[in-house]
Structure 1
Amino acid sequence: MEQSKRNAGLEMRKGEGEEEGRRGWSDVRLAMEELSLFKTEEKKVSTLALLGASNLLLHVLDKIGPTLLVLRQDIQQNIERVEEMYMLNPNLYSSLVEMVKKEVDQRSSRNKDSCSRAILWLARSITFSVTLFQELDKNPEWSLAQVVEETYTDTLKPWHGWVASTAYKVAIKLVPEREIFIGLLMGQEQDYDALKEDIKIYVSAIHPLLDETYALLRTHKLDTLKSP
Structure 2
Amino acid sequence: MKRGRGGMEESEMRSAIEELSLVVKDKPSGINPDAAYLPTKPFLYTCNLLIQVLDKIGPTMAVLRQDIHQNIQKLDKMYESDPSVYSNVVEILKKEAREGIARKPSSCSRALVWLTRSMDFTVNLLEKLEKDVAQSLEQVVEDAYITTLKPWHGWISSAAYKVALKLIPERKAFIKLLIAEEEDYDMLKEEMRELISLLLPLLDDIHSILRSFHLDKLKAK
* 1:16 Cα deviation from its structure 2 partner: 11
**1:18-64 deviations in whole A, cap 9, x for unaligned?**
42xx32x3221111112223322557222223212211221012111
For residue 154 of structure 1, the aligned residue among 138, 147, 152 is 147
TM (normalized to structure 2)?
0.90
Which residue in the other structure is 1:188 paired with? 181
Stretches of 4+ aligned residues off by more than 4 angstroms: none
Paired residues for 1:94-105 under 5 Å: 94-105=87-98
1:79-118 alignment runs, 5 A limit: 79-118=72-111
Mapped partners of 1:100, 1:16: distance in 2:
31
Structure 2 CA distance for partners of 1:17 and 1:201, relative to 1, 3 Å:
closer
Is the alpha carbon distance of 1:16 and 1:223 closer, same or farther for their aligned partners in structure 2, counting shifts above 3 Å?
A: closer
The partner residue of 1:32 within 13, 17, 33 is 17
Higher RCO (Cα < 8 Å, 6 or more apart): 1
* Matching residue's letter, 2:184: D
Unmatched tracts of structure 1, length 5 or more? 1-14
**Taking structure 1 as reference, are residues 16 and 214 closer, same or farther at Cα in structure 2, changes over 3 Å only?**
closer
Paired residue secondary structure (1:44): coil
Query: Which of 46, 49, 59 is the aligned partner of 1:56?
Result: 49
Check the 8 A contact 2:12/2:50 in 1, yes or no. no
Contact kept? 1:217, 1:223, Cα under 8 Å: yes
Q: Tell me the distance in 1 between the aligned counterparts of 2:76 and 2:163.
A: 31
**CA–CA distance in structure 2, aligned partners of residues 220 and 179 of structure 1:** 42
Instruction: Deviation per CA, 1:170-220: give whole Å up to 9, x if none.
Output: 101111110111111111111111011111111111122212211111011
Root-mean-square deviation (CA), in Å? 1.8
In structure 2, give the amino acid aligned to 1:31: A
Cα distance in structure 2, aligned partners of 1:208 and 1:46: 15
Give TM-score, length-normalised by structure 1: 0.88
Aligned partner of 2:32 in structure 1 is: none
Equivalent residue, structure 1, for 2:211 = 218
The structure with more radius of gyration: 1
Alignment-derived partner of residue 204 in structure 1: 197
Task: Return the offset for 1:17.
Answer: 11
Equivalent pair of 2:57/2:168 in contact (CA under 8 Å)? yes
- Provide structure 2 residue ranges, at least 5 long, that are not aligned to the other structure: 29-35
Mapped partners of 1:70, 1:185: distance in 2: 20
- For the Cα contact (< 8 Å) 1:35–1:52, is it kept in 2? no
Report if the CA contact (8 A) 2:103-2:110 is conserved: yes
